[in-house]
Amino acid sequence: MHAHSIDLGIGDSPIDTGNRLSCRLDGLSSTIREQNRVGSLKDLGLLEMDTIPIFDEATQMAARFLESPICVLTLMVFDQVWIKSAIGLSRLGLMNRLATDRKLDRLEAFCTYVVDSQQPLLIEDTLSESVFSQSVLTQNYGIRSYVGAPLITAAGQCIGSLSILDLTARRFTNREIEFLCVTARWCMGEFERDYLIKKQAEVVAESFVLPRPSSPPEAIAPSPSNA
């Protein structure tokens, strides 16, 4: 299969070359990249947090603007993709595993290519490419189109993606792809800013806490002259 970069010029006309993959398909990330990414997730507290309001706002905004039934914000954690925020997973079937577990094997996730390349990925029809047509997302959940934008930290580490999924094949305009990328950058920047402010406030609060004595002071015995 062929890989192509996406032209992110702001335009209204649909992309006219079929599936355009901006990612490298020559392998997954190296061990060092994996360690750095998980280290970034730990440093930002993203391995412990459950609900993150700014991520929920990003998925809602992207789904509404791109008129898509499904939008997910995912993080790559070792051999799994964690869904940190999602809109529309119930459309994939009642009590489907993706909605209940909110995890997916990284080898089955389209966002793996986004994280590996740190570039957006566009699939206009999953059935037209063998690497995607046989995936769990296509076979089990009926995903027919996908566009994902990388989540990149201020330090330049790609930790996941903001993605639109649809149950029908569709074409995305350059403007729609650009909007998704801008939304991904915005929510990541806002999250890091809020997290930094919170950590700085904690440091300041701790600096005003007086240390407690390890043991009570000993009573001073009266001198014989004062007895």
Q: Please write the tens of the pLDDT for every residue from 164-199.
A: 999 999 999 999 999 999 999 999 999 999 999 988
Could you tell me the CATH number of the domain that includes residue 141? 3.30.450.40
Per-residue three-class SS string for the chain: CCCCCCCCCCCCCECCCCCEECCCCCCCCCHHHHHHHHHHHHHCCCCCCCCCHHHHHHHHHHHHHCCCCEEEEEEEECCEEEEEEEECHHHHCCCCHHHHHCEEEHHHCCHHHHHHHCCCEEECCHHHCHHHHCCHHHHCCCCCEEEEEEEECCCCCEEEEEEEEECCCCCCEHHHHHHHHHHHHHHHHHHHHHHHHHHHHHHHHHHCCCCCCCCCCCCCCCCHHHC
Q: Please write the tens of the pLDDT for every residue from 104-138.
A: 999 999 999 999 999 999 999 999 988 999 999 99
Classify residue 170: in a domain, yes or no.
yes
Classify residue 206: in a domain, yes or no.
no
Classify residue 180: in a domain, yes or no.
yes
Provide the domain limits for residue 170. Answer: 20-200
Structure-block tokens of residue 104: 């997916």
Classify residue 87: in a domain, yes or no.
yes
Q: What is the pLDDT of residue 216?
A: 58
For residue 44, the cross-strand partners are: none
Q: Please write the tens of the pLDDT for every residue from 66-98.
A: 999 999 999 999 999 999 999 999 999 888 999
Classify residue 227: in a domain, yes or no.
no
Q: Kindly tell me if the per-residue pLDDT of 17 is higher than 60.
A: no
How many domains does the chain divide into? 1
